[in-house]
Amino acid sequence: MSSPASRPVPPAAANLLNLRGAVDLSSLKQRPASPASPAGTGTPQEGAQPGAAPGAQELKVNVTEGNFQQLVELSAQVPVVFALWASYSPESAAVLEVLERVVGGYGGRLVLGSADIEAFPQLAQAFQVQAVPTAVAVLKGQPVPLFQGSADEQQVRSLFDELLKVAAANGVTGSLGAGGAEEDAPAPLPPLHQAAFDAIEAGDYAAAAEAYRQALTEMPADHEAKAGLAQVELMGRLQPLSAQDSEALRTLAANEPDNLEAQLGVADLDVAGGHVEDALSRLVSFIGRNFGPEREAARVRLLELFDVVGAADERVAKARQALARVLF
């Protein structure tokens, strides 16, 4: 079985591509600590110690201004999943129950932070939460949106599996066991996959792509390398774009729906921003309106984005059906 680190940017976590500056947590990290709220103030996590970061066998915590920075720092060791909830939301309790149960099954590789946005409204503002419940992971201090609203256990587990893959690709491979110590190290990667991982760590996506190409030359059926190549190529395309560039690209795409480069660029941005259905639909529509080399270029990019999102994702399955309809 291949290591999760061989796949750097799983579908739901593609937001890691351009997270720096997307959501600013620095103001929260610098806020003076406030007294921890007493346990059992309406949150289902009654056994957590609200004023401390997780320790031995404590994988869920009530988030306060006093422990928020500790949890962000902990995200350099394990992903921290923030569940933002409110007492006025009837779905919150059920979602928290699912998250607690699922996090508990990962053997300390995830930590759950329960955040009452009525008690800590600054956190909701920082994460740009539009509704509750909302789940957002933090990895190496950077937020990764997961889902909003209700989610069943299977959906949550699938998201967490992908989150752990992207965590491993970004060097976050710890787990919390007795005393919070790191446990077993992950199995070593194949040499070319390790080279790609090292290049990703250094921000050299071109070198990572070359390592994955070599892996595919040696083993064309290496699905992890194929997915990794599509993902780092996406990262490389987005890396030089500023916020102003991105806005200009969106404006151009809106004004020129048959401009190939603009549509490809916005599709990349949408996948990276978690708007997967919008991205895939955009390219399918372009393919349906155009012919010749531009149509083929869009089709090839769409297939690459399928690899980025993941073949098992139902959004990819729907897009494949839509693509077949416009092609045939």
Residue 34: CA count within 13 A, CB half-sphere = 11
Q: Which amino acid is at 4?
A: P
pTM over 0.85: no
Which residues, listed in sequence order, are joined to residue 83 by a DSSP beta bridge?
Answer: 114, 135
Say if CB 299 and CB 280 are below 8 A apart.
no
Say if CB 152 and CB 95 are below 8 A apart.
no
Per-domain residue ranges of the chain: 4-180, 191-327
Helices 314-327 and 276-289: crossing angle in degrees, nearest 10, is: 10
pLDDT at 26: 44
Q: Annotate 180-224 with DSSP letters as a single string.
A: G---PPPPPPPHHHHHHHHHHHTT-HHHHHHHHHHHHHH-TT-HH
Say if CB 280 and CB 266 are below 8 A apart.
no
Edge-to-edge strands, sheet with 111-116: 60-62, 111-116, 80-85, 134-139, 142-148
pLDDT at 311: 80
| Superfamily the domain 4-180 falls into | Glutaredoxin (3.40.30.10)
| SS3 of residue 305 by DSSP | helix
Say if CB 235 and CB 305 are below 8 A apart.
no
pLDDT at 58: 62
Q: Report the distance separating Cα 123 and Cα 144, nearest Å.
A: 14
Q: What is the mean pLDDT of each run of 10 residues along the chain (328 residues)?
A: 36 34 40 33 36 52 87 90 93 92 90 92 86 92 89 89 85 68 56 88 90 93 89 90 92 96 95 89 96 95 92 89 92
pLDDT at 318: 93
> Phi then psi for 301, rounded to 5 degrees?
-65, -40
Question: In the chain, helix, strand, coil percent, each to 5?
Answer: 55, 10, 40
Q: Where are the beta strands (DSSP E) in the chain?
A: 60-62, 80-85, 111-116, 134-139, 142-148
pLDDT at 179: 41
pLDDT at 187: 58
pLDDT at 177: 62
pLDDT at 110: 93
- Position of tokens 């064309």? 220
H helices of 127-190, in order, are 153-169
Q: Report the distance separating Cα 60 and Cα 86, nearest Å.
A: 17
